[in-house]
Structure 1
């Protein structure tokens, strides 16, 4: 881990178990055998977050073609994420890091203690749960789809 707590490339990702939009727990370690993209975002229904996740929704085939499971995580309550997912038609999992508040974001080093939300951090894990790519963008800066495509190509699928 770096001083900020962001997992270093080549290290195993922190464990997380979070409820999806229906309250079903999703445990990262149980997804081993499948590459996973973990995408932290600040707030449901906000402009940049909606733009980013809609772009992922519209290009989810890139993740599917690479055999990567896409998980989007925020500190919003499960019911907020469900309403947003239904409104926007997201077909990937949205996970609630609401309680204990921000525990997963803290474990990945992307929790903003001052404002109580996740930063824009993305992590690509290989089938063994090892971090192969990551990016943490500053406030107000969306992550470009091209960066995800380049990261997916590194998996060699």
Structure 2
């Protein structure tokens, strides 16, 4: 079960696709964060979802929200994928300890070894304001993001 709205978001520090550390705490008091957990880079459903986010980045900019994608892939895999797809947002590697951040948000699928498609909108104080997930193999819609960001 993913963490619900009203819950304090677990802090983390993960490397982005360039190997630079990114922590949730670094955004505290400054801007909201949308964490987008996805199973694996280069998979068709994930690619479609992240392309839709890429094509709708203004939705996040206009709501002063940092968009962060998170998967168990290595930073090297994420960098190659981000460059190939032209993603204009950071991808974070929850590579080691394997899926630890996804677990802390209730999004890790132990039987599969990767995160479920789960999204968390976190306010400037570090509280989850909205969360939603889709069934395995099912894409999230941009409309779900619009609703989540409006809360």
Unaligned runs of 5+ in 2: none
* TM-score, structure 1 as length reference: 0.93
- Give the C-alpha shift of residue 115 in structure 1: 1.3
Aligned to 1:64: 61
Aligned to 1:111: 108
Aligned to 2:9: 13
SS in 2 for 1:11: coil
Aligned to 2:18: 22
Tell me the matched-pair count.
150
- Among candidates 21, 27, 45, match of residue 31 of structure 1: 27
Aligned to 1:128: 125
- Give the C-alpha shift of residue 134 in structure 1: 0.4
- Give the C-alpha shift of residue 127 in structure 1: 0.8
- Determine if the alignment matches structure 1 residue 148 to structure 2 residue 140: no
Deviations 1:48-92 (A, max 9, x none): 000000000000000000000000000001100000000000010
Q: Which moved more, 1:75-84 or 1:27-36?
A: 27-36
Q: Which runs of 4+ in 1 moved over 6 A?
A: none
Paired with 1:152 and 1:97, the residues of 2 have a C-alpha distance of 24
SS in 2 for 1:72: strand
* TM-score, structure 2 as length reference: 0.97
Paired with 1:65 and 1:145, the residues of 2 have a C-alpha distance of 15
- Give the C-alpha shift of residue 8 in structure 1: 2.3
Paired with 1:143 and 1:123, the residues of 2 have a C-alpha distance of 12
Aligned alpha-carbon RMSD (Å):
0.7
Unaligned runs of 5+ in 1: none
SS in 2 for 1:44: coil
SS in 2 for 1:134: strand
